[in-house]
Structure 1
Amino acid sequence: MKQVGVIFGGASPEYEVSLESAASVLEVLEGQAYDVSKIGISRNGTWYLVKSDLTAIREDRWLNQETCQKILPDFSGQGFWLSEEKKWLTPDSLFPVLHGKYGEDGCLQGLLEMMGVPYVGCGVAASALCMNKWLLHQFAESIGIKSTPTLMLTAHEDTTKVDAFIEQQGYPLFVKPNEAGSSKGISQVTHSAGLQAALADAFQYCTEVILQKSVSGIEIGCGILGNEELTVGECDEISLVEGFFDYTEKYQLVTAKILVPASLPVVINQQIKERAQLLYRSLGCKGLARLDFFFTDEGEILLNEVNTMPGFTAHSRFPAMLAAVGFSYQQIIQTLLILAEEAHYEKHLLTVS
């Protein structure tokens, strides 16, 4: 029986999202032929082997003395050291279900590489590059994929750059942390009076912030599953009554609706899928990613962002995209574990040879 460790939590503003996603993954794995270990990372970065049930994980009641013991990642290939029991926990593969900072930005992936255990999802370079919106857009432009006009700022940047950008692009515009997910810290600014508050909010999440010209059009997502051979899900479309697809809309769908498949012309749908695959391969993505674009009122296709561990409950966007091409949630999870081992052992063979 394969032993799988599901990692959740972490020191990220998206901690709660991780708990929901991980509980959904665990629910599937615990009903299948897997020996499952729950591995929780507290908000302060301490690792635990967790015995809590799924409800306690979803409700963030998993961290207590009765159901947890501290574990330490090991870099000699033996997995984790259980200090209380004085023994090793050695999973065949790991399924990190963490979103955002320290979980989706290459940090955790680097640690897992040092552990030498197969893990689900993109590697260090792809994770880091996709998380950094500014670098992602520069890279995408180098392979012919456009984004909306963007300016990057640091906290000590001269305001003349901001003034020049606004004079050229005008309002409305978006203010975003350069490295954050789930729309945390993102504001839509429609006039100068709201700019400083938006910048202050964004800088709470990241030391670099980007300003982007607002796009008039619709947001389209494209989910991809695979390593070398890719399965491309149906594109989805975000329909909003007003505002933008912020954190509340993403996870509560107050006025938003997600349409799968997207109501796009066939040619545009195909072009978005082709751009998504080109990006996925060029970035070196493995396992999965959700690539988000804008289809503007002027008929342009513009890159928005790439999520290397998108929201992953059974009802999230990525599973819905794959469901539309015949993959059940259970099949997606099983396939990801297979892909993790394939990527790991292919890399190992290259290293040995």
Structure 2
Amino acid sequence: MKKKIGLLYGGKSAEHEVSLSTALAVTKAIDFSVYEVYPIYITQDGEWRKGQRLEESAKTIEQLQLTAGSGKSNDISSFLPAQPSDALDVIIPLLHGPNGEDGTVQGLLEVMNIPYVGNGVLASSAGMDKVVMKQLFQQAGLEQTPYVYFIRRDWDKNQGFWLNKIEAELVWPVFVKPANLGSSVGISKADNREELIAAVKEALKFDRKIVIEQGVVAREIEVGVLGNDEPECSVAGEIKPLKAFYDYQAKYKDGNTAMIIPAELDEAVYAKLQADAKKAFKILDCSGLVRADFFVTATNEILINEVNTLPGFTPFSMFPLLWEHTGLPYPELIERLITLAIERHEEKQLLQVKID
């Protein structure tokens, strides 16, 4: 029998459009002879819409939005099967950013006891919050760039203090980021105090917590990680933006970026990247998939930048390309992720929930 797969996409997030692009790419790659695919679309206003089974790959993003219908529902019971034979075997969350990639939806699926692809509640939430992530990396002994962070209230109360602290502890240029967002949304580069103030104002549009990172002259190297308790690494890839940095426009709009796969690296550097990627995977208690992003300096110093617990699957995305060059084509990658999700779910069912 075909496995019933629920594609969960859209979401109440600034990365809504990215999610739709990812969902479109997945429908074009998934094997409809093996899987029954059901769309579950969340509008940008947070309305859930469950559509009828897809008979073939979606042609456009608009089709994905319309396929799920127009009826609104936030009642969880409407997404539960009327009878066991209607139950979804696995849900593939394709939600980027807050309200999807941050552990919220993962928690809902855990409560509903539905297998789902990717990271669990803890890994998703820790991976979304760049400050918590950095603190865990520090605990694991992973080298990273210096940083300063604060919340909106602290900035509003004493902007001068934070400006002085940043200038004292970091060196220009710095990068200003919302702590809880991905896809380079809200990120700005600042070369002086005036630009820093403007960058913080921009980042605060998207989050109450801001992280300021030390700029570094280095190559941007990414590694894909796949697995549960015994993760494996892909070949490494190098990002070469043709702009100041790898922003949202370069990632998803104009493709104004060169991707070199595999990256040209010394064997020792490559081995250290793999080891650090696995260490980051494990310290966050990840499962399924992760893209680990690093800086490699001219002296081969390796600094971990961040991990992405739900890397995109768009035509411009690095993660599937890394695995394709490792010998795992996109359709097989999706199958592997589904298998990993089922394995993890089955292991959880072995846990005792009653006290003798």
TM-score with structure 1 length normalisation? Answer: 0.91
Question: Structure 2: how far apart are the matches of 1:223 and 1:253?
Answer: 23
Please state whether the residue corresponding to 1:151 is helix, strand or coil. Answer: strand
Which amino acid in 2 is paired with 1:5? G
Q: Give 2:182's aligned residue.
A: 181
* 1:352 positional shift: 4.9
Question: Structure 2: how far apart are the matches of 1:285 and 1:186?
Answer: 25
Q: Give 1:235's aligned residue.
A: 236
Question: Structure 1: how far apart are the matches of 2:73 and 2:34?
Answer: 24
1:306-348: per-residue Cα shift (whole Å, max 9, x none)? 1111011355210111111110101110011111111011011
* 1:80 positional shift: 2.7
Q: Does the aligned pair in 2 maintain the 1:18–1:99 contact within 8 Å?
A: yes
1:258-337 matches, cutoff 5 A: 258-313=259-314, 315-337=316-338
Which amino acid in 1 is paired with 2:203? A
Q: Does the aligned pair in 1 maintain the 2:8–2:93 contact within 8 Å?
A: yes
Question: Structure 2: how far apart are the matches of 1:129 and 1:262?
Answer: 28
Q: Does the aligned pair in 1 maintain the 2:39–2:64 contact within 8 Å?
A: no
Q: Give 2:165's aligned residue.
A: 164
Q: Does the aligned pair in 1 maintain the 2:176–2:188 contact within 8 Å?
A: yes
1:96-245 matches, cutoff 5 A: 96-157=93-154, 158-159=158-159, 160-245=161-246
Which amino acid in 1 is paired with 2:180? E
Question: Structure 1: how far apart are the matches of 2:131 and 2:342?
Answer: 31
Question: Structure 2: how far apart are the matches of 1:81 and 1:32?
Answer: 22
Question: Structure 2: how far apart are the matches of 1:4 and 1:190?
Answer: 47
Which amino acid in 2 is paired with 1:127? S
Question: Structure 2: how far apart are the matches of 1:165 and 1:80?
Answer: 50
Which amino acid in 1 is paired with 2:282? R
* 1:298 positional shift: 4.1
Question: Structure 2: how far apart are the matches of 1:223 and 1:338?
Answer: 17
* 1:88 positional shift: 9.2
Which amino acid in 2 is paired with 1:228? D
Question: Structure 2: how far apart are the matches of 1:117 and 1:47?
Answer: 17
Please state whether the residue corresponding to 2:225 is helix, strand or coil. Answer: strand
Query: Aligned residue pairs: how many?
Result: 346
Question: Structure 2: how far apart are the matches of 1:253 and 1:62?
Answer: 23
Q: Does the aligned pair in 2 maintain the 1:9–1:42 contact within 8 Å?
A: yes
Q: Give 2:251's aligned residue.
A: 250
Q: Does the aligned pair in 2 maintain the 1:49–1:68 contact within 8 Å?
A: no
* 1:154 positional shift: 1.2
Q: Does the aligned pair in 2 maintain the 1:178–1:208 contact within 8 Å?
A: yes
Please state whether the residue corresponding to 2:251 is helix, strand or coil. Answer: helix
* 1:291 positional shift: 0.7
Which amino acid in 2 is paired with 1:166? E
- Which of 58, 76, 91 is equivalent to 1:54? 58
Q: Does the aligned pair in 2 maintain the 1:272–1:301 contact within 8 Å?
A: yes
1:116-167: per-residue Cα shift (whole Å, max 9, x none)? 1000000000000011111111111111102111111111222213312213
- Which of 64, 67, 74 is equivalent to 2:69? 67
Please state whether the residue corresponding to 2:343 is helix, strand or coil. Answer: helix
Question: Structure 2: how far apart are the matches of 1:255 and 1:97?
Answer: 24
Please state whether the residue corresponding to 2:349 is helix, strand or coil. Answer: helix
* 1:60 positional shift: 7.0
Q: Give 1:32's aligned residue.
A: 33
Gaps of 5+ in 1: none
* 1:110 positional shift: 0.5
Q: Give 1:13's aligned residue.
A: 14
* 1:263 positional shift: 1.5
Which amino acid in 2 is paired with 1:15? H
Which amino acid in 2 is paired with 1:325? T
Please state whether the residue corresponding to 1:349 is helix, strand or coil. Answer: coil
Alignment partner of 1:80 is 2:77: no
Question: Structure 2: how far apart are the matches of 1:198 and 1:300?
Answer: 28
Q: Does the aligned pair in 2 maintain the 1:233–1:325 contact within 8 Å?
A: yes
Q: Does the aligned pair in 2 maintain the 1:79–1:91 contact within 8 Å?
A: no
Question: Structure 2: how far apart are the matches of 1:234 and 1:88?
Answer: 40
Which amino acid in 1 is paired with 2:191? T
Q: Does the aligned pair in 2 maintain the 1:73–1:115 contact within 8 Å?
A: no
1:154-192: per-residue Cα shift (whole Å, max 9, x none)? 112222133122133221101000010000000000112
Alignment RMSD:
2.3
Q: Give 1:95's aligned residue.
A: 92
* 1:252 positional shift: 3.5
Percent sequence identity over matched residues? 35
Q: Which deviates the most, 201-210 or 226-235?
A: 226-235
Structure 2 CA distance for partners of 1:68 and 1:220, relative to 1, 3 Å: same
Question: Structure 2: how far apart are the matches of 1:231 and 1:61?
Answer: 32
* 1:7 positional shift: 0.4
Which amino acid in 1 is paired with 2:153? H
* 1:44 positional shift: 1.3
